[in-house]
Amino acid sequence: MGRRGQPAAQIATPHESALRTELSELLRLFYLNGWVSGTGGGICARLDGDHFLLAPTAVHKERVKPEDFFVVGLDDGRPLQRPADPTLRPSECNAIFRAIMRHRGAGAVMHSHALSGVLAADLASGGALPIQGFEMLKGIRGCSNRDTHLVPVVENAEREFQVAGAVERAICDPRYARAFAVLARDHGAYIWGQDVSETKRHAEVYHFLFEGVWARGVRRDRVA
């Protein structure tokens, strides 16, 4: 396919350039929200049917520049084009992001390290967090504010790629077919949508719901 080893600046289409800019802007927004602090979290978005842009790992996410993304093959997860900065390595979310894009048709996926996700997962039981009684549920594609929306919660593991198996089972589980998020206990959330814009909306909606579930849960425990 001819991309391998070529510098991004020479071959990026206008679509790819805009996408790189959009992703780096979203990382700054997510950082301001406290979702990707301490170099945690990540983001990816499909370029076309076979490739996607992937953020680097282990860097301050709000400092990621448009030219810092990897072009990665969707099937095999191999970087086809690397940033000019040789110190950058592709996100550890690679396997999870690909599973979500392939099994759920996601056009973009974000990984959040927000405390609200960690705390909401504490309230889960039986492998899922049930969310109900919020108008904001309508911000999730296909969801009504009358639904009890189930977000799967997987156990955390030492390395991100080890969590991938559990996430893959969760996203293929028919009980969670309507979810656009997976919580990893003690860790955070993977949130996706059909494109970058929907992924941003879903990220805002789910984080709102995580905060709401926690606030109401704390009060309920207290009153009970």
Binding footprint of a copy of itself on the chain (CB under 8 A): 34, 37-40, 60, 113, 115, 118-119, 122, 133-136, 139, 144-146, 156, 158, 184, 186-188, 197, 200-202, 204-205, 207-208, 211-212, 215-216, 218-219, 221-223
For residue 91, the one-letter residue type is S
Which whole-number Å values give the CA distances from 224 to 12, 169, 210, 218, in the listed order? 58, 35, 21, 10
Is the CB of 78 or the CB of 220 nearer to a copy of itself? 220
Q: Tell me if residue 204 is catalytic.
A: no
Tell me how far the alpha carbon of residue 54 is from its chain's centroid: 11
Is the CB of 50 or the CB of 186 nearer to a copy of itself? 186
- Whose tokens are 């700054």? That residue is 28
The DSSP element (H or E) to which 119 belongs, if any, is helix 115-122
Closest approach, Cβ 159 to a copy of itself, in A, equals 9
The one catalytic residue among 22, 135, 155, 168:
135
CB-CB neighbours of 195 under 10 Å: 15
Is the CB of 99 or the CB of 205 nearer to a copy of itself? 205
Closest approach, Cβ 10 to a copy of itself, in A, equals 29
Closest approach, Cβ 40 to a copy of itself, in A, equals 6
Give the separation between CA 197 and CA 25, rounded to whole angstroms: 12
